[in-house]
Amino acid sequence: MSLQFEIRRNPNPRSDAERETILSNPGFGVHFTDHMSVASWTEADGWHDSAVVPYGPFMLDPAAAVLHYAQEIFEGMKAYRQADGTVALFRPDKNAERFQRSAARLALPQMDTADFISSVEAVVNADRAWVPDQPEQSLYLRPFMFASEAFLGVRPAKFVTYCCFASPAGAYFASGVRPISIWITTKYTRAAPGGTGAAKCGGNYAASLIAQQEAAEHGCDQVMFADGAERAWVEELGGMNVYLVTTDNELVTPELTGSILEGVTRDSILELAPDFGLTPVERRIGIQELTEAVAAGTVTEVFACGTAAVVTPIGTLKNEHGTFSVGSGETGETTAALRAALLDIQYGRTPDPQGWMHRIS
C-alpha cells in the first residue's frame, strides 16, 4: 500500500512579506519553509504515520542510535520554477533509487520509489509559494532517514524516522561562475574499498571535514580525494563528482569503483556528452596522470558537478608537488556549455527529449 502524505497545515506560517524578504536573498541552507513530510518505520509495522506537518524540531531520545552510531542517509534534489510557471523536479526517480541503495548499505529500511517521490511532492505542494522564480534559484529538498530507536546496542535500529524538508536556494555563484581551486589530499581519504563511499550518508561528510580544513590551509576552495587503497587514483570532491575534457574531445570521469558517489548530475552529463561532440569515458584517472596532463595542456578543462552547484569549473589543482593551472585558469568552453545545457533543461527552457523533468501538478 502506498503512503499518503495528508497535510496538517502550519497554524503559524511565515507571512507573504517575510517569505518575500527571504526569497530576495535566500543564500544556501539557512532558511526553511513552513512544512515538512515525515514517516515512521518500525520492524513490526513497516512505514506508517506519514503526513505533511508544520516544520519544526524533532523530540529525540539522547540514546537515539543515530546520535551514537551515525545510522543515517540523505538525498539532495531541487524543485525548479519552469519557464511556464509550473514547478518540476529533475530525475527524482534517480534520487529515490540511490536512497534505496544507501538504505541497503546502512542497514536502514527500504522506501518505495513512489512513496519517496510522494513525500517530496507533498512538501513542494504545501510550500509551492517558496519555489523561487529568479534565475538560478530553486527550492532545495533534503529527504533523509535516521535511526531514532533509543538503544545503545550495536545493531540496525528497529525504529527509524524519515523526513523531507525544503530550503530556498539562491544562485550558487551570486556574482557569476568563478573557477575554484582544489587541494588534492593524500593525507586523508573519504572512502575505502568495501566502505560507505557510494552511499549518501552523513558519516562520509563527517570524515571529510578535516580534509576540507587542510584544503583551506593551502589556500584552496575544495578538496579532491584519491582512492583509499593506493591514494593514486582520482575519486571525487567532498560532495561533487569530477570531470575532465581532453584535446581528443573526450569527456572523462572516474569509473564507479564502489567508493565513489554516483551523482545524478554526473550521470546526466555522461548522457549529454555526445550532443557536444564529446566521447563520454568512464575510467580510472591517475592523480599524477591528471596533473601532468593539465601541465602539458592535453587536459584542457576540469570541472566538478553536483545538484547544489550544477557544474563548477576548476581553475587550479594543487598538491605537495606543485600548483597546476587548468588551461588559462578561466571557465572552459565545454564546461560553460554543459552547465548552460543542464540549467536550460532544469528550468524548462529547452525541450526535454530524455523526459528528465517531473512536473508537480
**DSSP SS3 for 277:** coil
* C-beta closer to ligand PLP: residue 14 or 200: 200
Question: DSSP characters for 41-96?
Answer: EETTTEEEEEEEEES-PPP--TTBTHHHH--EEE--EEEEE-TTS-EEEESHHHHH
Give φ, ψ of 271 to 5 degrees. Answer: -70, -30
The answer to whether residue 263 forms part of the interface with ligand PLP (CB under 6 A) is: yes
Q: How far is the CB of 54 from ligand PLP (least distance, A)?
A: 28
Could you say whether residue 236 binds ligand PLP (CB under 6 A)?
yes
Dihedral over Cα of 209, 211, 212, 217: its sign: positive
**x/- string (CB under 6 A) for ligand PLP, residues 60-99?**
----------------x-----------------------
261 binds ligand PLP (CB under 6 A): yes
Instruction: Choose between 266 and 339: whose C-beta lies nearer to ligand PLP.
Output: 266
Strand partners, 149: none
Query: Which residue is at the shortest CB distance from ligand PLP?
Result: 263
- Provide, rounded to whole angstroms, the least separation between the CB of residue 351 and ligand PLP: 22
Q: Is 26 in the site for ligand PLP (CB under 6 A)?
A: no
Q: Please state, in angstroms and as integers, the Cα–Cα distance from residue 145 to each residue in 30, 103, 128, 166, 178, following that order.
A: 20, 8, 23, 15, 34
103 lines the binding site for ligand PLP (CB under 6 A)? no
Strands 299-306 and 241-246 turn out to be antiparallel
CB of 266 to ligand PLP, least distance (A): 6
CA–CA gap between residue 242 and residue 246 (Å, rounded): 14
- Scan residues 239-258 and list those touching ligand PLP (CB under 6 A): 239-241
Q: State which residue, 35 or 190, has the beta carbon closest to ligand PLP.
A: 190
> Cα–Cα distance between 135 and 112 in angstroms, integer?
33
Give the x/- contact pattern for ligand PLP in 116-135, rule: CB under 6 A.
--------------------
* 138 touching ligand PLP, by CB under 6 A: no
Q: Decide if residue 180 touches ligand PLP (CB under 6 A).
A: no
Interaction between residue 139 and ligand PLP (CB under 6 A): no
| CA–CA distance, 135 with 158 (Å, rounded to integer) | 44
The reply to whether 286 sits near ligand PLP by the rule CB under 6 A is: no
CA–CA gap between residue 252 and residue 246 (Å, rounded) = 8
